[in-house]
């Protein structure tokens, strides 16, 4: 038996590379792993690395359509082509690279469901935009969605919570399970009025038996920790306790962090620590600690490794000091050509009446749809 928390990692995660000039930089996963290691977390007895496996085609078909999987295989062999309207280019080996990411999430599911570990983090995962029949928003296969169907099929789980705190709406997951009452989906994101994919409004609450189980909280650009955590604590714990999930999945995209290159929120490591800490507490209270964390977006290299290191430490029930070590800073400079961050943690960001008022009114609007 291992400890309580596992980190899925392989240098092969870096093969998910959409091109030299693409905003999704695979090196962020390596920098995260190295930052986690530099903070001594991997020396703790109860924290262990798990090597990912490659998902089988049969497993990918738990969510994706056969025709689309064939297309990915074809473009992957060819090494060119676009898998959506333009954001997600194919590359040589993209089928294998994305199958490994899905496999890492499935391996995490296995580790948790067999009781080997209570908590797992797959920093390469969280590819929440992919749809059954197409790629979208840098995501080829949707590993959270495949994981949800895998957990249901293999482990007969029928009450799952999926929380998505990426700056973008997790449309592939939400629409993939829009009619499905086994999935409670809670999604905080920068409003679709300002950001891709343009969806995820409070009136989208699920259909038929799943009505009331898909909750969207769109946020104004510039929203900080204070308004975010106020909305999160007001909404999530109560509804999660009522739903009583058997496992909790959290897509932890780091692009909500301030100064992200693609999104416009003003969040910091404090928000991520606050949310993961609450979900960790709820997991122990409701489902024997079963909590799977995925990565996701995150396009400013000085932020992503810090966000995910803080999130991972919180998942493992640890607190870290503020130091960024010199060897890691040197490596950061070498791999990115950019200046490394000076502190692990940020100062919390406060909000003005505009962003606070907006989250309050979004929650009111959401409550009115739920009451219908
Ligand atoms: Zn994102
Ligand atoms: Zn724990």
217 CA distance to ligand 2 middle (Å): 27
Helix, strand counts (H, E) of the chain:
11, 8
- Ligand (nearest to CA of 196): 1
Which secondary-structure segment (H or E) carries 29?
helix 27-38
319 CA distance to ligand 1 middle (Å): 26
125 CA distance to ligand 1 middle (Å): 12
Task: Give the strand pairing for 119-122 and 5-8.
Answer: parallel
Asked if 94 and 71 count as a contact pair (C-beta separation under 8 A), the reply is no
359 CA distance to ligand 2 middle (Å): 30
Q: For the domain 5-371, what is the CATH superfamily, name and number?
A: Histone deacetylase domain (3.40.800.20)
Q: In angstroms, what CA-CA distances link 104 with 53, 92, 190, 277, 310?
A: 6, 20, 28, 23, 21
Instruction: Give the whole-angstrom CA distance, residue 15 versus residue 98.
Output: 9
289 CA distance to ligand 2 middle (Å): 6
The answer to whether the predicted template modeling score (pTM) of the entire model surpasses 0.95 is yes
196 CA distance to ligand 1 middle (Å): 8
**For residue 325, what pLDDT is reported?**
97
Asked if 296 and 128 count as a contact pair (C-beta separation under 8 A), the reply is yes
DSSP state of 212: T
Within its chain, how far is the Cα of 318 from the centroid?
20
In degrees, rounded to 5, the angle at the alpha carbon of residue 251 between the alpha carbons of residues 93 and 198 is 85
Q: For residue 298, give both structure tokens.
A: 């995150």
**For residue 43, what pLDDT is reported?**
84
**For residue 277, what pLDDT is reported?**
98
- Ligand (nearest to CA of 117): 2
Instruction: Give the whole-angstrom CA distance, residue 102 versus residue 72.
Output: 14
- Ligand (nearest to CA of 47): 2
> What sign does the CA torsion over 134, 135, 141, 142 have?
negative
Within its chain, how far is the Cα of 59 from the centroid?
20
Q: Is 131 part of the annotated catalytic residue set? A: no
Omega within 30 of 0 (cis) for the link into 245: no
Domain ranges of the chain: 5-371
**For residue 1, what pLDDT is reported?**
35
Asked if 211 and 338 count as a contact pair (C-beta separation under 8 A), the reply is no
For residue 288, is it left (φ>0), alpha (ψ between -120 and 50) or beta?
Answer: left
- Ligand (nearest to CA of 313): 2
Q: For residue 113, give both structure tokens.
A: 């469901």
Asked if 172 and 125 count as a contact pair (C-beta separation under 8 A), the reply is no
Three-state DSSP state, 163: strand
Summarised one tens digit per residue, pLDDT across range 184-236 is 999 999 999 999 999 999 999 999 999 999 999 999 999 999 999 999 999 99
317 CA distance to ligand 2 middle (Å): 6
**For residue 3, what pLDDT is reported?**
61
Between helix 353-371 and helix 225-243 the angle, nearest 10°, is 20
The DSSP annotation for 38-107 comes to: HTTGGGSTTEEEE---PPPHHHHTTTS-HHHHHHHHHHHHHT--BSSSSSSB--TTHHHHHHHHHHHHHH
Q: For residue 142, give both structure tokens.
A: 């949707």
Q: Which residues surround ligand 2, an ion (CB under 5 A)?
A: 289, 317
Given 64, 119, 128, 129, the catalytic residue: 129
Give me the phi and psi of 251, to 5 degrees please: -90, 115
Q: Which residues of the chain have pLDDT under 50?
A: 1-2
């Amino acid at each position: 038996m291992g400890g309580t928390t596992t980190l899925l990692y392989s240098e092969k995660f870096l093969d998910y590379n959409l091109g030299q000039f693409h905003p999704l930089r695979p090196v962020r996963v390596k920098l995260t792993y190295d930052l986690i290691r530099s903070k001594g977390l991997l020396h703790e007895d109860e924290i262990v690395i798990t090597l990912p496996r490659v998902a089988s085609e049969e497993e990918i078909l738990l969510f994706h359509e056969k025709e689309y999987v064939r297309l990915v295989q074809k473009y992957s062999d060819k090494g060119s082509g676009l898998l959506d309207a333009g954001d997600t280019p194919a590359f040589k080996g993209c089928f294998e690279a994305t199958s490994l990411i899905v496999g890492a999430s499935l391996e995490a599911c296995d580790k948790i469901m067999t009781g080997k570990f209570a908590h797992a983090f797959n920093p390469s995962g969280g590819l929440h935009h992919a749809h059954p029949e197409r790629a979208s928003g840098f995501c080829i296969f949707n590993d959270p969605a495949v994981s949800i169907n895998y957990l249901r099929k293999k482990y007969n789980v029928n009450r799952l919570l999926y929380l998505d705190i990426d700056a973008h709406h997790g449309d592939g997951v939400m629409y993939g399970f829009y009619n499905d009452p086994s999935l409670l989906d809670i999604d905080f994101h920068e409003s679709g009025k300002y950001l891709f994919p343009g969806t995820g409004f409070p009136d989208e609450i699920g259909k038929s038996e799943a009505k009331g189980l898909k909750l969207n909280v769109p946020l104004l650009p510039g929203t900080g920790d204070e308004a975010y955590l106020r909305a999160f604590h007001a909404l999530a714990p109560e509804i999660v306790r009522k739903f009583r999930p058997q496992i909790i999945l959290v897509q932890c995209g780091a692009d909500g962090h301030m100064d992200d290159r693609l999104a416009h929120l003003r969040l910091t490591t404090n928000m991520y620590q606050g949310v993961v800490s609450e979900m960790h507490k709820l997991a122990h209270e409701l489902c024997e600690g079963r909590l799977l964390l995925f990565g996701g977006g995150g396009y400013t290299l000085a932020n992503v490794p810090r966000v995910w290191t803080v999130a991972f430490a919180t998942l493992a029930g640890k607190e870290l000091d503020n130091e960024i070590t010199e060897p890691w800073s040197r490596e950061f400079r070498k791999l990115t050509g950019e200046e490394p961050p000076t502190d692990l943690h940020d100062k919390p960001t406060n909000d003005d009446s505009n962003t606070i008022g907006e989250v309050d009114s979004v929650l009111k609007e959401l409550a009115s749809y739920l009451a219908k």
